[in-house]
A and B are shown apart, each in its own frame.
Chain A
Amino acid sequence: MAAVHGDAHGHEHDDHHPSGIMRWITTTNHKDIGTMYLWFSFAMFLVGGTLAMGIRAELYQPGIQILEPELFNQFTTLHGLIMVFGAIMPAFVGFANWQVPMMIGAPDMAFARMNNWSFWLLPVAATLLVGSFFVPGGAAAGGWTFYPPLSTQGGLGVDLMIFSVHILGASSIMGSINIITTILNMRAPGMTMMKMPLFVWTWLITAYLLVLVMPVLAGVVTMLLTDRHFGTSFFNAAGGGDPVMFQHIFWFFGHPEVYIMILPSFGIVSEVIPTFSRKPLFGYSSMVYATASIAILSCVVWAHHMFTAGMPTVGQLFFMYATMLIAVPTGVKVFNWTATMWRGSMSFETPMLFSIGFIFLFVIGGFSGVICAIVPIDIQVQDTYYVIAHFHYVLVSGSLFALFAGAYYWIPKWTGRMYNETLGKWHFWLSMFFFNMTFFVQHFLGLAGMPRRIPDYNLQFADFNMISSLGAFGFGLTQLLFLYIMINCIRSGDKAPQKPWDGATTLEWTHLPTPAPYHSFEKPPIVK
């Protein structure tokens, strides 16, 4: 470790870097790369969001109005893929790039050049994915889970999607290796594992999960590719293969993926809530334990996505019990956040509002998850809007709200300027209102039997769909307000003091000026 710090210290006069576009193409600085990750993910969020607007516009009333069924299916497929792989995951990696080195007192990420490469693979993958709309036959249309036989039958768009997923996977694996190495080897003297901020802990565990499951995804899409073009029959029953095997392999990746997208949110919320409650996090060690337990459990529950695919009773019960047990460590976390706020000197700036909104709505998503885990209920609600409502409560009001909380919380440190608090609160309350308007009613639609991935529906579903679509348009427009708030903050926000949040205790607030200098912690801080 001493060698690493010594080396970085030796470059302290090496502050001249290329300007203009070359700065961003050649940069190895964790802050530059973090910024690029965040802007990239926001751009992809807008692309995925535009697809969502298309979906909701078509579903505004029964009948086919705007999108032909084939194009509608492409929209739903690409909306899912872009939001998962292009928006949420890179956004968390962006946060890790900015925050992990500063929070553990390291000068940069361990593999700075690999860091540059793992970012620059992303625009390539995104181009393949978005470009697939314009190839003959259009984009992949078999859903974001690309189950065969639909995915073995699609056109060139499916191949582009497969290559895109390969590249995104490679980028994620490199990013994870970088994060693990940085955390394990580059902590400042005195920063023992159990003193690390919880955001760092959650990312360490997430990175291990990523290294575990991304190769599985790469494997399954490669099998799909060889089935499509090289005469294999992994998933083709006519050739002796099994399409259900795809589902098993996909969900062995897919369920830990869900936790990959939520564990770093837990980390962000666990930083924000103690700060604005002006109390240390309640039960720090149990939070670490719960995160690790969730990660382990997430690897043994995958087949709860497949109850209707056919499974022995033993399998159904095993996956049902294991899934329900995940509620225990998750409950520990919710209890700890609530106990942290209990009798704290709370204040309700925008990051805190988004964190509290996160807890409130994520619990709803968690409960509907437990409901879906019960086999007889799942068989009723499988592939209905109930499932859509469930996972949007987890991924939008879970992951996305935590990302907003983190962005508002750390933007003063990143830019040296404060965001507009009034507009931030408007952003929160409008998001809260329109999010629930969009997705709460989808529970009712699902229970009434409306299937997912259809462009047209029975008249009985008309009213709730209209409410949901109006909410979605409102939610989409509200996110443009977030863009305005951030640009306004970067260009002309008030100057931020070194520590605008008086309850903040992590190294980036206590040991670094605001804005954080281009090279920070060239000399490691001593942590007591």
Chain B
Amino acid sequence: MSNSPADKNHVSVWQIAKAVLSAFMGIRKKSDLEHDAATLKPAHVIIGGIIGGLLFVIGVFSVVKLVIN
């Protein structure tokens, strides 16, 4: 909902990645969280989440391959 021009400048791929990864862990510093909530748009998080999900699948699959071998 916050779409003032100043906020838009701060979104980087790294910030989205950090937000999504910490979401997977369930742990995030409060100040970072508030910054995310103010700057990230739902589309950022959804696309980041889908990519994170794919990485997760590849990760689990790699573990399985390792176990089988």
Contacts and interface: CB of A to CB of B under 8 A. Distances in A.
Contacts of B5: none
A104 B57 CA distance: 35
B13 interface: no
A510 interface: no
Contacts of A293: 23-24, 26
A226 interface: no
A472 interface: no
Interface in A313-329: 313-314, 317-318, 321-322, 325, 329
Nearest to A284: B33
B6 to A, nearest CB: 16
Interface in A280-334: 283, 285-286, 288-290, 292-293, 296-297, 299-300, 313-314, 317-318, 321-322, 325, 329, 332
Interface stretch (A187-195, A482-490, A514-522): A187-195
B23 A300 contact: no
B37 A193 contact: yes
B64 A317 contact: yes
Interface centre among A194, A289, A321 (most CB of B within 10 A): A289
Interface residues of A, number: 28
A191 B2 CA distance: 10
Interface of chain A, helix or strand or loop or mixed?
helix
A314 B22 contact: no
Contacts of B28: 285-286, 289
Contacts of A288: 23
A184 B46 CA distance: 13
Contact of B26 (A192, A194, A332): A332
A289 B60 contact: no
Contacts of A193: 1, 37, 42
Interface in B14-61: 22-28, 33-34, 37-38, 42, 45-46, 49-50, 52-53, 56-57, 60-61
A3 to B, nearest CB: 15
Given A184-B42, A289-B22, A290-B26, A192 B37 contact: yes
Interface of B: 1-2, 22-28, 33-34, 37-38, 42, 45-46, 49-50, 52-53, 56-57, 60-61, 63-65, 67-68
Interface of A: 184, 187, 191-194, 208, 283, 285-286, 288-290, 292-293, 296-297, 299-300, 313-314, 317-318, 321-322, 325, 329, 332
10 contacts: A193-B1, A194-B33, A292-B49, A293-B23, A293-B24, A314-B64, A317-B67, A321-B64, A322-B60, A325-B60
